[in-house]
Structure formats: structure tokens, C-alpha cells
């Protein structure tokens, strides 16, 4: 079963320091691991950070 949101050809993503800090803040604020937040962002796109 494949995830239609993840392009298997993309091997890396570039994020800014601000985006990483936002993910760390979300991780802390929602009692989620940073890994969970990162997978959410990968699945839903970096725009998810702006809307959260």
C-alpha cells in the first residue's frame, strides 16, 4: 500500500531553521515526538506548518 501524498522519488527535503523550530515547538506544545511532527509535515506538506 502506498501513500499517495509521498513521492518516492524525493529523497530529501529542505527546511529552514525557522521551520525546524516551528516543528520543535509543535512537538512540545502537543506532547508529540519530533519524529511524529516531522512525518506529519512530510505527509501534509510544509504548508501544514503555516496553518498550525
- Domain map (residue ranges) of the chain: 17-51
pLDDT of residue 21: 95
Give CA–CA dist 4/26, Å, rounded: 25
pLDDT at 29 over 60: yes
pTM of the model: 0.66
Closest CA to 7 of 43, 40, 34: 43
Cα–Cα distance, 34 to 40 (Å, whole number):
10
Grid cell, residue 22, equals 516551528
> Per-residue pLDDT for 48 more than 80?
no
Residue with cell 516543528: 23
Task: Tell me which residue of 22, 24, 21, 44 sits closest to 32, measured CA to CA.
Answer: 24
Amino acid at each position: 500500500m502506498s501513500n499517495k501524498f509521498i513521492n518516492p522519488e524525493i529523497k530529501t527535503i529542505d527546511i529552514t531553521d525557522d521551520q525546524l523550530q516551528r516543528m520543535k515547538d509543535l512537538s512540545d506544545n502537543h506532547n508529540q515526538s519530533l519524529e511524529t511532527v516531522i512525518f506529519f509535515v512530510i505527509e501534509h506538506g510544509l504548508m501544514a506548518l503555516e496553518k498550525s
